[in-house]
Amino acid sequence: MEVPRRIIAVEQGLDPFKKYLEERGLRVVDLQGDDLRRADAVIVSGMDKNFAASQAIETEAPVLVASGRTPEEVYREILRRLP
C-alpha cells in the first residue's frame, strides 16, 4: 500500500526504523528543531513523562514508541493514524 510522502521524525539510534520507513517512501528526518515541528509523526525509542510533556509543546503529531516493536509494526501504525 502506497502512502502520501509523509515526514516522519525519528529519534537518533533507531536506524532500522529509519531505513524501513525510507524504503516505503516516507521522508525521514531527525528528531529536532524545525524538522520536528513539520513532522506528521514522531518515533521515539521509549517514553518518559518529561519527553511526553516536551512533545506536547513542540508538535501535535502522534508520538509512536518503538520499544518492543518491529519497524513493520510501527509503519502499520503510521498508516492507521495518518489520513
| pLDDT score at 35 | 74
Domain spans of the chain, in order of start: 7-81
Stronger pLDDT, 26 or 4, i.e. the higher one = 26
Q: What is the pLDDT of residues 25-35, one digit of tens each?
A: 999 998 877 77
Q: What is the pTM of this model?
A: 0.80
Write the pLDDT tens digit of every residue in 40-70.
999 999 865 455 445 444 678 898 999 999 9
Cα–Cα distances (Å) from 70 to 2, 31, 39, 44, 79, in that order, read 19, 19, 21, 13, 15
* Architecture of the structural domain at 7-81: 3-Layer(aba) Sandwich (3.40)
- Tell me what pLDDT residue 5 has: 79
